[in-house]
């Protein structure tokens, strides 16, 4: 419920929901599942401008992932894919909320790398988010390289979200194309072809 509230941009009750969920889960679930509860709690803390607490909770979630003992993860904890990928993706949102674009980009890239085959659309969207953070940090070449990797994963994917992501990318790159940035122009050509084909 806390995750849904955050997705709907209604954070006012999310922190209490996340804390309740975490308190009920601690000691009763495997470490990967607990890390999911912790990272959602971290995101709610970030949304309520509790920077230090949010970063500490995000780090606890990552530490729990590293301590994984191979315990079985309940099926419901796999709803968003492998827990590690979900934790990295949510951690990225924590750092994005806090304005740390560099760490957010790194976490989105880790999320993409943690997803197995069969998650092409989600990998593409993680990479798109990473590229957006890189662009906002002023790294146009790095952002274009990441967007190209994202588009590699979009091959054969038919999704409204990927189309929207490509259209948004074209808008984000327009000023760089106008300045003659070659990587932006080449990526835009690829985007036009992708949109025409889908």
Structure tokens at 60: 């606890």
User: How much is the pLDDT for 70?
Assistant: 76
Summarize the confidence of residues 51-58 as an average pLDDT: 96
Structure tokens at 102: 């560099």
State what percent of residues in the chain have pLDDT above 90. 72
User: How much is the pLDDT for 85?
Assistant: 92
CA distance 121 to 80: 12
User: How much is the pLDDT for 165?
Assistant: 96
Structure tokens at 192: 């036009």
Check whether 22 has a pLDDT greater than 90.
Answer: yes
More confident residue, 151 or 66: 151
Summarize the confidence of residues 116-145 as an average pLDDT: 94
| CATH architecture of residue range(s) 1-116 | Alpha Horseshoe (1.25)
Summarize the confidence of residues 117-143 as an average pLDDT: 94
Structure tokens at 128: 């798109």
Structure tokens at 56: 């500490």
Check whether 23 has a pLDDT greater than 90.
Answer: yes
Any idea where the domains of the chain sit in the sequence? 1-116, 119-198
At how many degrees (to 10) do helices 182-197 and 140-154 cross?
20
Q: What is the pLDDT of residues 86-114, one digit of tens each?
A: 999 999 999 999 999 999 999 999 999 99
CA 88 from centroid of its chain's CA atoms: 7
Check whether 50 has a pLDDT greater than 90.
Answer: yes
Check whether 27 has a pLDDT greater than 90.
Answer: no
């Amino acid at each position: 419920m806390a995750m849904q509230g955050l997705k709907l941009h209604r954070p006012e009750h999310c922190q209490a929901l996340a804390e309740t969920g975490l308190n009920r889960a601690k000691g009763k679930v495997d470490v990967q599942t607990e890390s999911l509860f912790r990272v959602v709690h971290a995101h709610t803390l970030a949304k309520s401008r509790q920077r230090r607490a949010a970063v500490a909770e995000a780090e606890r979630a990552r530490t729990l992932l590293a301590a994984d003992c191979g315990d079985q993860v309940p099926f419901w904890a796999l709803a968003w894919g492998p827990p590690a990928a979900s934790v990295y993706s949510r951690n990225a949102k924590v750092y994005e909320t806090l304005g740390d674009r560099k760490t957010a980009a790194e976490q989105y890239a880790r999320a993409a790398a943690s997803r197995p085959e069969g998650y092409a659309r989600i990998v593409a969207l993680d990479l798109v988010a990473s590229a957006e953070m890189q662009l906002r940090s002023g790294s146009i070449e790095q952002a274009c390289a990441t967007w190209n990797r994202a588009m590699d994963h979009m091959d054969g994917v038919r999704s409204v979200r990927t189309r929207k992501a490509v259209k948004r990318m074209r808008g984000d790159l327009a000023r760089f194309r106008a300045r003659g940035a070659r990587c932006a122009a080449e990526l835009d050509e690829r985007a036009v072809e992708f949109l025409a084909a889908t």
